[in-house]
Amino acid sequence: MSVLTRPFRPTPKPDLHLPWWTPGDTNAAFGLGFNVLVNVLVLSSLCIGVLRMSEASVYGVIVPALGIQLLIGNVYYTYLARRLAYREKRDDVTAMPYGPSVPHMFIVTFLIMLPVYLATKDPIKAWQTGLAWAFIIGIIVVIGAFVGPYIRRFTPRAAMLGTLAGISLAFISMRPAAQMWDTAWIALPVFVIILAGFFANVRMPFGLPVGLVALLVGTAIGWAGGFMSAPDVASAARDIAIGLPSLQLDLLVNGLKDILPLLATAIPLGIYNFTEGMSNVESAAAAGDSYNLRSVLLADGAGAIVGSALGSPFPPAVYIGHPGWKAAGGRTGYSLGSGVVIALLCFVGLFGLINTLLPTPAIVPILLYIGLVIGAQAFRAVPKAHYVAVVIAIIPNIAAWAQGLIDNALGAAGTSAAKVGEAALESNSVLYHGLLILGSGAVLAGMMIGAVVAFIVDRNFVWAAGYLVGAAALSFFGIINAQQVELNANAEVTLGYLFAAAVCVAFAMMRLPRREKDADELELDAEEGMVSRPADVAEPEPTGAA
């Protein structure tokens, strides 16, 4: 099935026999496995190259801790998928993908741990701070599990899928795309194979999985072209060592002793985490699989807490990309299969060796594939009238990505935006301050703004005003559109939201008729009616909510 078509939802089967593995699971497992593989390689290199942590700490503690997180999480999500399949008597249910959160890998490294390392020159101290931060994130996500279902029910789908598309385009797609064109002679042939296999449904020779064929071709080109180094492989092979997860409570407790400075970033990013999880669940529902949001968020929060106690500062989460793996044929077994394999690789210390065997440009095209699928789904699964809401929900994430890119560039030059001065930057058409404000709390900000636009399009001005007041409250406390968490964090933005709410109230008093649904929207409603959604909360949806 092409990922550019809406999902077909089969008739429930009264006598369902659900296999543990299907040919499509093999296809999806290779794709997801390589996706997680790249992320583990990246976070390992960040710890060693940026934070100057020892390889013993990274490959002996952090990576094994991540391995047990992946194992437990993927077992749980396989259970949820099979439970959903039997409840709805469908054999096309796809498990939620699970792994280390890509944006958080960079956030915890550069915003949390790196400043501590630069101030103390102590990688252990930085590590302790990262563990405390991950623990706080887990607590906030657990709390969000009891709030998120209400937010999901009253928020238009365009807002949630739009902000998810923003994450996917800015933080999932841009870096792999840059890496691909930097080594285009390896990456582009791989990308064409992925496009042909996943989008055009081209069958690979001998029925081999698309991801495996793509990786083999890219690896062959990389080695034949001299991109890889045989001596590096031999050196990495000598460093293989088994590492099993163990409790690191002393590191976590030491990090929690200085908890107050962490709250300024942990609170908004914890909200970011459960907002992203909520959007991922909505994305899966749009693809035909309606999971209970509370069950998902509780698992994500618990995973972050357990991981921090075992020594991993990288919170795992449900992954962006469920629709892509569903389109690739993944069912209930693919996530478990990839999780088990990656966990074993974590325990036996093979990531250093893998990094020398597989060229990165042969792996990263799978990330761009996910970005394309999520971006396309944001428009495919919402009414055409709400496309504008999708686009505006994307923009704050692009702003956050651009602001981070500016900061990294200035840091590489040995300076910062504060030292250069915002006036100097703006005189050269770099609107740094505007990007910083717009991109702060980007996931939540995008969702709120997207919801406002969707409700305005539907002429539901009362709900639009309500979301604007909510955005004003979030900006007042610095959760969105502010540089830090504090009271009256950004008065101008807060007033802007309140004034906009007042305008919406004025429009509401005009008692204008609601927008009539278009033909495509009626079709979407009919498709939604073919799948039962979990009763996360009992309240009815407001008019205009997807």
**pLDDT tens-digit map of 318-356:** 877 788 889 888 999 999 999 999 999 999 878 778 878
pLDDT of residue 350: 81
pLDDT of residue 64: 93
Same-domain pairing of 31 and 64: yes
Among 282-286, 401-405, 451-455, 542-546, which is the least confidently predicted range?
Answer: 542-546
pLDDT of residue 5: 42
Longest CA–CA span in the chain (Å) reads 75
pLDDT of residue 10: 56
- Is residue 500 a part of any domain in this protein? yes
> CB–CB of 392/449 below 8 Å?
yes
Non-local CB neighbours of 315 within 8 Å, separated by 6+ positions: 100, 101, 104, 108, 134, 137, 138, 141, 273, 300, 303, 304, 307
Residue 452 or 211, more confident: 452
Mean pLDDT of 484-513: 94
Same-domain pairing of 223 and 89: yes
- Is residue 544 a part of any domain in this protein? no
pLDDT of residue 198: 82
Residue 495 has pLDDT above 60, yes or no: yes
> CB–CB of 376/3 below 8 Å?
yes
Residue 519 or 493, more confident: 493
> Of 322, 357, 382, which residue is a domain's last?
382
Report d(CA 210, CA 231) in Å as an integer: 30
Non-local CB neighbours of 212 within 8 Å, separated by 6+ positions: 30
Among 2-6, 281-285, 319-323, 444-448, which is the least confidently predicted range?
Answer: 2-6
- Is residue 509 a part of any domain in this protein? yes
- Is residue 533 a part of any domain in this protein? no
Q: Exposed (0-12), middle (13-18) or buried (19+): which is 419, by Cβ within 10 Å?
A: exposed
Report d(CA 62, CA 541) in Å as an integer: 43
Same-domain pairing of 327 and 390: no
Residue 479: band (very low, low, confident or very high) from pLDDT cuts 50, 70, 90: confident
Same-domain pairing of 493 and 350: no
- A 10 A CB-CB count for 110 gives 17
Round the CA-based radius of gyration of the chain to a whole number and report it: 23
For 98, phi then psi, to 5°, come to -145, 140
> Which residues partner with 99 through β-bridges?
317
Alpha helices in 413-460 (DSSP H): 417-420, 422-427, 432-439, 442-457
Residue 181: band (very low, low, confident or very high) from pLDDT cuts 50, 70, 90: very high
Residue 509 or 41, more confident: 509
Among 8-22, 196-210, 384-398, which is the least confidently predicted range?
Answer: 8-22
Same-domain pairing of 364 and 464: no
pLDDT of residue 544: 41
For 181, phi then psi, to 5°, come to -75, -20
Whose structure tokens read 């259970």? 79
- Is residue 16 a part of any domain in this protein? no
- Angle at Cα 517 formed by Cα 514 and Cα 520, nearest 5°? 160
Same-domain pairing of 83 and 189: yes
| 467's tokens | 């979301």
Same-domain pairing of 205 and 312: yes
Among 28-37, 221-230, 238-247, which is the least confidently predicted range?
Answer: 238-247
| 73's tokens | 């999480």
Mean pLDDT of 405-421: 89
| 112's tokens | 């949390």
- Is residue 12 a part of any domain in this protein? no
Report d(CA 101, CA 113) in Å as an integer: 16
Q: For helices 293-310 and 63-88, what crossing angle results, to 10°? A: 160
- Is residue 504 a part of any domain in this protein? yes
pLDDT digits (tens, 9 = 90+) for 279-319: 888 889 888 899 998 999 999 999 999 999 999 999 888 87
| 454's tokens | 């969707």
Same-domain pairing of 308 and 440: no
Helix (H) or strand (E) holding 66: helix 63-88
pLDDT of residue 291: 94
> Which residues partner with 28 through β-bridges?
none
Residue 128 or 540, more confident: 128
Same-domain pairing of 311 and 404: no
Looking at residue 332, its amino acid is: T
Whose structure tokens read 């409840």? 87
> Which residues partner with 318 through β-bridges?
98
Non-local CB neighbours of 70 within 8 Å, separated by 6+ positions: 36, 98, 99, 316, 339, 342, 343, 346
Residue 529 or 434, more confident: 434
Same-domain pairing of 302 and 276: yes
> CB–CB of 53/44 below 8 Å?
no
The total of structural domains in the chain comes to: 2
| 321's tokens | 């990309």
pLDDT of residue 112: 81
Give the residue numbers spanning the domain of 493: 386-416+425-528
**Length of the chain, please?**
546
Report d(CA 181, CA 190) in Å as an integer: 12
Residue 16 has pLDDT above 60, yes or no: yes
Residue 209 has pLDDT above 50, yes or no: yes
- Is residue 138 a part of any domain in this protein? yes
pLDDT digits (tens, 9 = 90+) for 513-543: 988 887 777 776 665 554 444 445 444 444 4
Nearest to 442 by CA among 482, 382, 409, 476: 482
Same-domain pairing of 88 and 187: yes
pLDDT of residue 540: 40
Tell me the Ramachandran region of residue 441: left when phi exceeds 0, alpha when psi lies from -120 to 50, beta otherwise. left
21 DSSP 8-state letter: -
Residue 471 has pLDDT above 80, yes or no: yes
Same-domain pairing of 347 and 403: no
Residue 444 has pLDDT above 50, yes or no: yes
Residue 101: band (very low, low, confident or very high) from pLDDT cuts 50, 70, 90: confident
